[in-house]
Every structure is written in structure tokens, then in C-alpha cells.
Structure 1
Amino acid sequence: MKKNLLVLISLVGFQFASNAQSFIQAYANIANQCSQTNITNSLTEFEGLGVKRRGTAALQNTLDWLKSKYLSYGYTANQLQEFSYTYSGSSAVCKNLVVTKIGTTYPNTYVIICGHYDSIVGTGTNDNGSGVAAILEVARLLQNVPTEYSIRFINFSGEEDGLRGSQNYVNTVVNGTTPKMSIRLVFNIDQVGGVAGEINDTITCERDTGSPTSNNAASNAMTQQLITCTELYSPLNTNLSYAYASDYMTFEDNGEIITGFYETNETTHRHTATDLLVNMDPVYNYKVAQAATGAMLHFAVASTTLSTSSAQEYQMSVFPNPATNEIYWNLGTFPKNEYQFSLIDSTGKVVLSQVVTDAPLVKGFAVGHLARGMYMAVMESDSTRVTRKIVLE
């Protein structure tokens, strides 16, 4: 992140009413499960992977390391996507890693939490191994928590070369989707490792103050919610500042709503060979992960109760409901990639049956030819059987 100046605004004049966002004990319980050991281990491992410049083995090894982390948390291969790209002036192939967790109520609207994993000159343990470590911990803690909105955990490459990875993603995925991808919020985490030997007790929360201005008010409102979440679910204080020169800016330019985290005590080691764990404060990084976890539970509207049913266990869902011409079965975290899908009418007759092999995360089924009414959607695989009522209208 190329950020030479922070305008830190005292929050004395920006106190937000406590009744606007209430403390939710279930969210605190999850945020409190953040692990200092995990944060420190992630930083250590990230540093050991070397200088993550475009076209290097270190960058590819870091991508592979990230994938192994998500898989170890219970995410499936179907939930992981790689997006490769090149850009003018370089023949190196760079990759973004996107991990998708489908929401239960608004599956087609996404809360994105993102940060870059490339570095320049040094290993980039703070810029941006610290953001990577925080995002990984949020992903671990939210893996089995149902959320109303879908979540995308995105690890961008090419940030240090001019936001190349996020720009490619906005161009080819966000704007390349028909209809255009619906984004509730982009939450960027960049350089949140603190400074060794200093009192690191404050995180800077970033809002959109640039052009286009049409998304500024919404960004400010979301950043106020981020501030409140930080103070509800972590011991950190907050400062308010502006968004600048990191991956959320390509989304901001696209008219999306953004917010972000950035360390308040800024390191002097950014973009040097001394951007190392020894010059950071990993306890601060852990507290930032706590705050980010609480914020993501809030932004994605997480369930405060967990069901023991198979569908909830694997976070499966069928949408839209009611439906008209097509329905979609979301596998969630189900580990199998083969199943039989059936649709049963109110008389018990199977009106649609299909065996799905090499199943994608979300599979569509045409239903426009069926009579309108109530049906039971059934997914069967080995000893697992999941049912969902659905209405065609």
C-alpha cells in the first residue's frame, strides 16, 4: 500500500449512538476465538515464502500456501477459484485467489473482504502479510457460520504493480457478470501489523472521500459501522481517515461501497528488506483480526444460532425461492462432488431427477416447464440426504 500520509480525524465529533448497532454476544463469542498462535504462525510462514514479486516462484508458492490454508479450514475445492491475468509491460502470469461462501438469504449479493499477497523488494510481512493473516483468521472462524449475504475472501496479486489484480477482477468478474455482480461492501485490509516497541492500540478505519462522489455517503455509513464493530468486538480504539492507493480503489472507481483497515502507527519498513516480523507487533495484528471478524459477522448478517441439520452443517441452500424458470442448488461446504438432485411435487411424484458429477459450487436446474406450486428439492449423496421446500410461481 502506497500511503504516505494519513489524516487522522478525532472521533470526538463522530460518536455513534450505541443503539444503532447492538452488541451481539454470539458475534463476540466467535471473535473471541481468534488465535494469537494462528496469526503469528501465518506471519512467520508468509515471511518464509520470500519476496513475492510477479513471475516468481515465491508468488506461486504463496498462492499454493493460501489454498492449503483455506482447505485446512474446511472450505472445499469447489469454493476456491483462481483468476489468471497478464498486463501490458510484463509477460508474467499473476493470479488472484477467490474463496466463495454462499449466503442463505441473499446468495447473489456479496460482502468482499480482501487484501493483496504480493510484495516488492522484501518479504512484505507487514505489507501485506498482516492483512493476509487477518483475512485467513476471519475465513477460519466464519467457515461454518451461516450468513445471509454471500462472502468472497479475495487474495489479490499485483497490488504493488499498480492495483493490477483488483483491476482485472473488477473488469472481468464484477463487470463481466450478467447482470453485473451485486456487491454490498468491499472491506480491504492492508498493512495492519503495527510497529514493534510502540503502543499499538488504535486502528484506522478508511472511508471513500474521492470520485465518483455518489458512493461516498454509503461508504461513510459503512465505515461508521466498522468503527462500532471494532469497539464492540475488540479492545482497539479507532481513527477515521480516507481510502487511498490499495485494492479497494478499483472497486471505488467502479461505484462500489468500500471501507478498510490500516495501521495507525505506520511502519518505516514498508517496501524494504526489513519489512519483517521482528519489526511488527503480532499482538496488534491479532486484535485487528478480532475486529475484522466482528465486522464481517455484522456486514454479512451472520446467524446467531447453529442448526444441527445437514443443510445447515454444510451451509447448503436452494435459491431463488419462490422461483420461476430456474433454481440453483448451492453445495456450500459439502465435501462430495457427485450427487442426485430431485424435485418432488405435492403428490409425491418425482418430476425432475438428475445425477450431477464434478459438481460446481452452484448448479442450476431448469424448472420453467413445471406446473406452478409447492415442491420438495432433494439432494442425495452416499448416506447424506438434504431436503428443501421450494415454490414455483
Structure 2
Amino acid sequence: MNKITLLVVVVLVTVIANFTHAQSIQNIIDQVSNANLQLTVNELSGEQSTIINGTEQTITSRVESNNDLAATYIEERLQALPNVSVAIQDFNTNGKNVIATQLGQTNPEEIYLVCAHYDSVTTFCADDNATGVAAVLEIARILSTQCLDKTIVYALWDEEEIGLLGANFYAQQAADTSNGNTRANILGVINMDMIGFDGDAPGTPGDNQFDIDVRPIANSLEIKDDLLAILNSYTFDLSAIVVNPGTTASDHSRFWNQGYAAVLVGESWETNDQTPNYHTANDRVVDIDFQYMTEITKLITAYMTTKAGLVNLDNTVTATSTQLTANALSTTYQWINCDTDSPILGATSQVFTPLTNGNYAVLVGNGICDELSACFNFNVLATAEFLPTELTLFPNPVVSVLTIENPLLQNLSLTLRDITGKHITTQNSEKERITMNLEANATGIYFVTIASKLKSSTFKIVKE
């Protein structure tokens, strides 16, 4: 390729997975998190603070002349993912695209691109286009843990609102064949711009119509057909409106200009069902229908997974009271201590028998790529789960403080992990009433593993 560089980044990641079956497209779709989308839109639109550069900050502006903090937020979110390389593409004095590349394992020169613009015209602008950015970040979170045949580029554009400048620069660079450069083999572009408004009351049943804007350029009509086929192959609460000829007023059109296949996916402007607060500071989170947005994100996740191609590698684990077994019939195994994020010396067989209590995962390889399983909490001496009379957790959902009733005064180890499997905190107590403060944690799903010398149980907790 030319100025768009593809790099391999091999990073271990912990993911929550089902321990009984391998990954499938349906499994991937099911990982899309409404809670994650809500959190990202709230943070990116400045409705709530977030951690950027290690400190708590609020993104008060995404206007192109003052949106460096938003770019850093996006860059840090992508850098935290495995198997992607992240680059800032400066294209003029102020403009910067944030580009993350996940290299395909078998056909890396074949590229699919999923994108959205992150700049805005004024403050907040939750629908336009924090929603599209949140969807791209969620898709990257999920697919970065998978081995894929083809390359995916996750692109967040700057200066869309003043002339589609960021996407135009990238598309021109990709198509540039001057001075011996090779035209990038981009097979399809999905652009998401404003995917959060449906005229029905948020969260209620309705038409859930969305637009696919397309024109007969390159294989753009094929992308539309593939989206419709996926829509009918899996269960989505969506109804597609095909717009042909589609609008040129968003970033996908700059790829049309260079002869690439592309479509725009978004709320239904074709049926006049778009946000009433378009391009104003009243474009707020309160008007977003997050269930509708989640359905669109699931659809695009399914498309990207289908076209990029899952490598057939099972990263799941079967557990018994005495050992852990990798389900994959792969060529290599490496068991990992999740508590120290380090490989276990000599633990390179399909079956692993832990000698100490802890959290373990396995990195499996098939000669093409490697995938890491979920972390599994293993208690060497535990033979059973706690009875309801021995342990009680409340409230659930929890707003701030989770209480654990321990009537038998057992010596307990309590480990909190988020939905990705990331370790948050561990505490030990033998008090009759134990508390765990979740007030500072983001809304979403968490898992609390409680273990004694004889028993161990994991509880799913919803943080509101």
C-alpha cells in the first residue's frame, strides 16, 4: 500500500465469553452492549466526565477548531484494544483523523472500513455524531479480540462539518497511484452518521426505520444487498429504507469520488424521521433511542464480521472442579495468569490444572493467529457454589454501594471485574456485612466472584 500503513500489534486481552461453544457471528452480535454505547455517547458529548490522559476531564467541545481532547479520548480508547495499530493522520493545521487498523491474518490487503466523523458544529451534538463514533468504538472493541481473514480499518474523521475534509484526505491518499504508490484495495466502506434518533419514544416499539444511502458506484449496491441479507438472516428490530441515489452530504461520498464502494447508514431522513435538534446545542443524550442505536450497531457488527471473515479458532474453555481444558484442537496453547497478566511457565498443554487459587485464561493458536479465552476464576479447594442462605448480594441493580451478607462469617475473597473481564478490585473480609463501593464505576454489567476455602460463586451485577 501507499501512505496508509498496516501494522501488526499482538496484545493479550481478556474477554467475557461463553464457556460452552466457539465464537460465531451470532455470538459476536450478542456482545454489542447498550450500556457501553450509552456511556460513550454521554462521555463524548460532554454530558458526563471521563478519564483522559489519566485525569478526569469533560469534553466540552468537538467543534473542529477545539476538539483535540475528543481526538485524544478516541485515540486512547482504541489504543487500549488488542490487535490494532492506532495512528493520528494530520491533514491540515487543525484537522486530524484517528485511524485504527486490524490486520487480516490471511488476506491483509483486502480492506473493509467502518467509519464516522467525530467533529460537531456546536456543543453536545449527541446524535451528530457521537452516536456514530460510539458504534465504531464498540465494533472495534468486539472485533479486535477476534482473528479475521481480511483487514478492518476503524476510522474517525475530523472536519466533516466544514466540507468532509478528513474523509476526503484519506480517500485521496488511498487511491493515489502517483510516484509508484499502489491503490489501496478497499472493498467496502460503511459510514455511520446520526444513528440514534427514532421518532417513537425512546425504547418503545415503533417502525425503527433506518436509511441505507447508496449509488451505483463500484460495488456499493452489493454492500446494500449484503446488509439486507444480513438483516434477514439474524434477528434485528429494524426496517431498512434504501435510498438510491443516496445523499452525498456525508463522508462516504468522498470514497464514491475515488471509485470505492461505500454506503451511508443512519436514521431515516428519507421518511422525515430525523432528530428535530439537528445542528443545535439541543442535540442531547435525552433524545437518543439507545435500543434503536444498539440494533443498528449490531447490524454493522454482523456485516463487518461477515465480510472480514472469522478465522475458525475456538477460544473457549471447559472447567471442572479440578482442571481447565481448552476446547480448541489447535497447535499451540499457553495458559495465562490473569491476575499478573503473564504466561505460566510450562503450562502449554490443552489441559491445565491450577495449583493455586486465581484467574486463568488460555492463548490458543492454529498457526495462523492466536486468540485469548475469557479469564476463569478457579478455586483449587472449592467443590461447590454458595447456597442462598450462605451468601446474599443486594441491591441488584446497584447505584452506589453493593452489600454482601455473610451470615456464617466466612473468610471471603471478593473480586470485581467489568464486562470485558478486566480486573477492577479484590478485597478480603470475614465480616457479617461486607460492602463494595461502585459509585465511581461506569454504568454497565460487572461480575463479582466470591470465594472461600470450600466454595466459589460468580454473580452478575448491573450498575445503574
Partner AA of 1:239 in structure 2: I
Change (3 A) 1:315 1:174: farther
User: What residue number does 1:237 align with?
Assistant: 239
Secondary structure of residue in 2 paired with 1:246: coil
User: Larger % of helix: which?
Assistant: 1
Secondary structure of residue in 1 paired with 2:161: helix
How many residues end up aligned between the 2 structures? 284
Change (3 A) 1:303 1:203: farther
1:206 to 206, 213, 217: 213
* Paired-residue identity, %: 22
Change (3 A) 1:85 1:331: farther
What's the Cα RMSD here?
A: 2.8
Q: Shift of the alpha carbon at 1:261?
A: 0.8
Q: Shift of the alpha carbon at 1:75?
A: 4.7
User: What residue number does 1:175 align with?
Assistant: 176
| Equivalence map 1:229-268=2 (5 Å) | 229-233=230-234, 234-242=236-244, 243-244=246-247, 245-264=249-268, 265-268=273-276
User: What residue number does 2:45 align with?
Assistant: 47
Q: Distance in 2 between matches of 1:315 and 1:227?
A: 34
Q: Distance in 2 between matches of 1:97 and 1:316?
A: 32
Higher RCO by CA contacts (8 Å cutoff, separation 6 or greater): 1
TM-score, reference length from structure 1: 0.66
Q: Deviations over 1:257-288 (max 9, x none)?
A: 11231112311111111111111211111111
2:88 to 46, 66, 82: 82
Q: Identify which range, 177-186 or 226-235, moves more after superposition.
A: 226-235
Q: Shift of the alpha carbon at 1:295?
A: 0.8
The answer on whether the counterparts of 2:105 and 2:149 sit within 8 Å (CA) in structure 1 is yes
Secondary structure of residue in 2 paired with 1:64: helix
Q: Distance in 2 between matches of 1:203 and 1:315?
A: 40
Q: Deviations over 1:331-350 (max 9, x none)?
A: 999xxxxxxxxxxxxxxxxx
User: What residue number does 1:61 align with?
Assistant: 69
Q: Distance in 1 between matches of 2:281 and 2:118?
A: 16
The answer on whether the counterparts of 2:32 and 2:298 sit within 8 Å (CA) in structure 1 is yes
Q: Deviations over 1:338-378 (max 9, x none)?
A: xxxxxxxxxxxxxxxxxxxxxxxxxxxxxxxxxxxxxxxxx
TM-score, reference length from structure 2: 0.57
User: What residue number does 1:127 align with?
Assistant: 128
Does residue 220 (structure 1) correspond to residue 213 (structure 2)? The answer is no
Q: Distance in 1 between matches of 2:75 and 2:365?
A: 20
Q: Deviations over 1:210-262 (max 9, x none)?
A: xxx5x2xx211221101221333423221211332111111101000112311
Partner AA of 2:256 in structure 1: E
Secondary structure of residue in 2 paired with 1:50: coil
Q: Distance in 1 between matches of 2:366 and 2:61?
A: 39
Change (3 A) 1:83 1:200: farther
Change (3 A) 1:303 1:263: same
Secondary structure of residue in 2 paired with 1:126: helix
Q: Distance in 1 between matches of 2:363 and 2:174?
A: 29
Change (3 A) 1:108 1:65: same
Q: Distance in 2 between matches of 1:97 and 1:29?
A: 28
User: What residue number does 2:29 align with?
Assistant: 31
Secondary structure of residue in 2 paired with 1:250: helix
Partner AA of 1:252 in structure 2: W
The answer on whether the counterparts of 1:188 and 1:261 sit within 8 Å (CA) in structure 2 is yes
The answer on whether the counterparts of 1:99 and 1:152 sit within 8 Å (CA) in structure 2 is yes
Secondary structure of residue in 1 paired with 2:91: strand
Q: Shift of the alpha carbon at 1:124?
A: 1.8
Gaps of 5+ in 1: 1-23, 87-91, 319-329, 334-393
Does residue 297 (structure 1) correspond to residue 301 (structure 2)? The answer is no
Q: Distance in 1 between matches of 2:167 and 2:193?
A: 13
Q: Distance in 2 between matches of 1:34 and 1:104?
A: 23
Q: Distance in 1 between matches of 2:364 and 2:194?
A: 33
User: What residue number does 2:147 align with?
Assistant: 146
Change (3 A) 1:52 1:101: same
Partner AA of 1:251 in structure 2: F
Q: Shift of the alpha carbon at 1:196?
A: 6.1
Q: Distance in 1 between matches of 2:174 and 2:304?
A: 22
The answer on whether the counterparts of 2:146 and 2:371 sit within 8 Å (CA) in structure 1 is no
Secondary structure of residue in 1 paired with 2:126: coil
The answer on whether the counterparts of 2:209 and 2:238 sit within 8 Å (CA) in structure 1 is yes
The answer on whether the counterparts of 1:125 and 1:277 sit within 8 Å (CA) in structure 2 is yes
Does residue 184 (structure 1) correspond to residue 187 (structure 2)? The answer is yes
Secondary structure of residue in 2 paired with 1:55: helix
Q: Distance in 1 between matches of 2:116 and 2:212?
A: 15
User: What residue number does 1:363 align with?
Assistant: none
Q: Shift of the alpha carbon at 1:144?
A: 1.7
Gaps of 5+ in 2: 1-21, 47-58, 315-327, 335-361, 373-464
